[in-house]
Amino acid sequence: MTHDRPVDPDLDTDATDTAGTTVPQHLRWSSVALVALGGTLGAALRELLVLAFPVTGSLDVVIFCINLSGALALGVLLEALLRSGPEDDRRRHLRLLLGTGVLGGYTTYSTLATQTARLVGDGQAGLAVLYSLGTLLLGALATWTGIALASWLRRPRSSRRSA
């Protein structure tokens, strides 16, 4: 079968339900299980770090670092998967387990929102703006850095030396 347009990589045309229709990736129990398992592991890792490094001031630096390191790791992961070949079941499962699951559970932008609201409530609106915008902008920069790093690492060694 040929397609005139790109096919959604999350739509596995080999998987069908009992009626014979194609089942989207996000509706398959195997995909949901991968994301749930990864999310559990990522959230557990985040909780371990939060417990190991308790908040000492008005700003939670640990969550800030978790969100930035998660953004960097997501950039590395997705670029590495993209450069490792065409989308297949193995890459799709790695993306769901590690990207959506582990890194989705590891990072916590809901805590960013809660902490920003707490800072505003405590009369520290300037710090709240700096914290929230800093996290978002530095998170975008971290993702871009991760993409660039994975791109550089996937190049042949000879071209890495000249870069």
How confident is residue 1, by pLDDT bands cut at 50, 70 and 90?
very low
Q: Specify whether the CB–CB gap between 106 and 40 falls below 8 A.
A: no
Residues 73-107 have pLDDT tens digits of 999 999 999 999 888 999 999 999 999 999 999 99
Predicted model pTM: 0.80
Question: Could you tell me the residue range of the domain that residue 121 belongs to?
Answer: 25-162
As a whole number, mean pLDDT of residues 122-135 equals 96
Structural domain includes residue 101: yes
Domain count, the chain: 1
Which residue ranges are tagged as binding site for Na(+)? 104, 107
List, in order, residues 6 or more apart from 86 with CB less than 8 Å away.
Answer: none
pLDDT given at position 154: 81
pLDDT given at position 2: 47
pLDDT given at position 125: 97
Structural domain includes residue 149: yes
Q: What percent of the chain has pLDDT over 90?
A: 66
Structural domain includes residue 12: no
Structural domain includes residue 11: no
Structural domain includes residue 34: yes
Residues 63-75 have pLDDT tens digits of 999 999 999 999 9
Q: Answer positive or negative: Cα dihedral of 138, 52, 77, 150.
A: positive
Which residue ranges are tagged as binding site? 104, 107
Structural domain includes residue 18: no
Structural domain includes residue 118: yes
pLDDT given at position 159: 62
Mean pLDDT score across all residues of the chain: 87
Structural domain includes residue 16: no
Q: Specify whether the CB–CB gap between 97 and 37 falls below 8 A.
A: yes
